[in-house]
Structure 1
Amino acid sequence: MDLNLKGKNAIVLGGTRGIGRAIADTLAGEGTNVAICARNAEQVAAVVTELAALGVKAIGASVDVTDGAALKAWIADAGTQFGGIDMLISNAGAMAQGNDVASWEQNFQLDVLAAVNAFDAAQPFLAKAGQANGDAAFVIISSVSAAQADRADSYGPMKAALIHMAKGLARQYAKQRIRVNVVSPGMVFFEGGVWHMVKTNAPDFFEQANARNPTGRCATPQEIANAAVFLASPASSYTTGSNLIVDGAVSSRVNF
């Protein structure tokens, strides 16, 4: 299937590792120009070099996405350099686990407000792309934890807030041809990630967690990236306001 992504421009928040890196690689492999940001300047520079080697225009910067003004300025600059923005992918997340005030604040600042500020900055570019090409997209990476709770925790509610926000944005900006969708992964394993640390420090719990999944394993970042890139592409031009759960059927919830 041709996703019709060649020559388009994408912004990826948190694009140097894990899911974000897989999304950036996949977009570049489809011929999309990619701008990434993350905190580590050296990692950003290395990834930009590797993306550019795929034959696309790649730019990046060290940006703290909790700094709303800095994030907005970077997105506006990237859009200007590219001459437009067709896709925005919000992947940055705090991954703070806990019910303490600090965890709530971390997840709110990094997961929710970063997405709010990023869309605010990208929306004029996305609207222009929607008008010119009939399609533009905002994709948010949430979590299956949004739909399940074993204890009081800040992580799930903040991820749920993103899904609710996405539905509202999808309806509000449909006439501008801006589609807004969510991908909600389950367990995702990559080196340096949360489940890699769990496997290293608590191997028995890691095995138990995998055993609860009907597939018996974690997802790869690429499997999540495939879903996100499809939703961002014109190939899914009539899909908006959706929450695509990619969790190997570990959740038992029926989504209507």
Structure 2
Amino acid sequence: MKFSLGLSGKKAVIVGGARGIGRATAELLVGEGAEVAISARDADSVKQAVDALTASGGKASGAAVDVTDKAGYEAWIQSCGEAMGAIDILIIMASGVGGAVDEDAWRANFETTIMGASRGVDAAMPYLEKSDAGAIVLMSSTSAVETFFAPQPYNALKASLLTYSGQLAQAVGEKGIRVNCVSPGPTTFEGGNWDVISQAAPDIFKGVESDFPQGKLGTPEEVANAVVFLASPAASFVSGTNLMVDGGFTKRVQF
């Protein structure tokens, strides 16, 4: 029996799909025969990603979208459903920024991480309810489950996302929609946050790197493999979980 993810013909929306893990996820989905619609705040990044995705014959579209713009964000997701004729998969990668701890940082992380997720889910729900393989994947972080550097909005609100995801899975399961989280450890790619840290603060980077049993940070492709699996019909009996994809970086015993 040949193993298949069952993604051919599926319609996927990726919020934050132009770079890093989001881009790698889009590439995997297109490679499996899915149609994708991606967004990011930067129009040039979106265009470059869409051009690359379609160059190999894949079906992809994209738009510059800011998840803190409620009306514009919701309108874009609705337009994706109309243009593709369905939304089977919703993947939300949009994330706040770590480091800052003032009140503005709390508000910014809340608007991006929490409202970015809940607004996206609400807007896509009418389409997901019509799918025979509805799936939502949200992006948390290992910083949500262990102390990482210092108390900060990024860590706390990523943790809140785990609660939202787990309870959402219970609420929409009867509609045939699965909901899961993926929590990556520090992941590096050219131009990403950890790439910048490796150059600006190499001692910090090396300190974090040494905490990985394999001696290296993760790659977008390694995380994307897990995201795409959870989004696919191959994971049809997996819902309400938080999958750690961190190469053993997290030290707590996971039950």
Same fold (TM over 0.5): yes
Q: Does 1:229 align with 2:231?
A: no
Q: Does 1:116 align with 2:114?
A: no
Report if aligned partners of 1:38, 1:44 keep a CA contact under 8 Å in 2. yes
Report if aligned partners of 1:126, 1:136 keep a CA contact under 8 Å in 2. yes
- Give the Å deviation of 1:17: 0.6
Report if aligned partners of 1:15, 1:24 keep a CA contact under 8 Å in 2. yes
The secondary structure found in structure 2 opposite 1:163 is helix
Counterparts of 1:40 and 1:4, CA distance in 2: 31
Q: Which residue does 2:86 correspond to in 1? A: 84
Q: Does 1:70 align with 2:72?
A: yes
The secondary structure found in structure 2 opposite 1:212 is coil
- Give the Å deviation of 1:13: 0.6
Report if aligned partners of 1:14, 1:37 keep a CA contact under 8 Å in 2. yes
The secondary structure found in structure 2 opposite 1:37 is strand
Q: Which residue does 2:237 correspond to in 1? A: 238
The secondary structure found in structure 1 opposite 2:210 is helix
Q: Which residue does 2:54 correspond to in 1? A: 52
Q: Which residue does 2:179 correspond to in 1? A: 180
Report if aligned partners of 2:7, 2:33 keep a CA contact under 8 Å in 1. yes
Q: Which residue does 1:205 correspond to in 2? A: 204
Query: Which segment is superposed worse, 51-60 or 25-34?
Result: 51-60
Structure 2: gaps (5+ residues) = none
Report if aligned partners of 1:86, 1:125 keep a CA contact under 8 Å in 2. yes
Report if aligned partners of 2:188, 2:220 keep a CA contact under 8 Å in 1. yes
TM-score norm. by structure 1 comes to 0.96
Q: Which residue does 1:141 correspond to in 2? A: 139
Counterparts of 1:49 and 1:193, CA distance in 2: 20
| Residue type at the aligned position of 2:51 | T
Query: Which segment is superposed worse, 226-235 or 41-50?
Result: 41-50
Counterparts of 2:108 and 2:186, CA distance in 1: 21
Q: Which residue does 1:103 correspond to in 2? A: 105
Report if aligned partners of 2:166, 2:179 keep a CA contact under 8 Å in 1. yes
The secondary structure found in structure 2 opposite 1:222 is helix
Report if aligned partners of 2:98, 2:152 keep a CA contact under 8 Å in 1. no
Report if aligned partners of 1:96, 1:106 keep a CA contact under 8 Å in 2. no
Sequence identity (%): 45
Query: Alignment length, in residue pairs?
Result: 252
Query: Which segment is superposed worse, 99-108 or 116-125?
Result: 99-108
| Residue type at the aligned position of 2:226 | A
Counterparts of 1:70 and 1:204, CA distance in 2: 41
Alignment partner of 2:42 out of 40, 43, 47? 40
Deviations 1:149-177 (A, max 9, x none): 25321111100111100001100000111
Q: How does 1:214-225 map to 2 (within 5 A)?
A: 214-225=213-224
Q: Which residue does 1:14 correspond to in 2? A: 16
Q: How does 1:142-157 map to 2 (within 5 A)?
A: 142-149=140-147, 150-157=149-156
Report if aligned partners of 1:188, 1:218 keep a CA contact under 8 Å in 2. yes
Counterparts of 2:251 and 2:211, CA distance in 1: 11
Q: Does 1:162 align with 2:189?
A: no
Deviations 1:79-137 (A, max 9, x none): 100000000000011223232101111111111101100000001100100xxx2x210
- Give the Å deviation of 1:60: 0.8
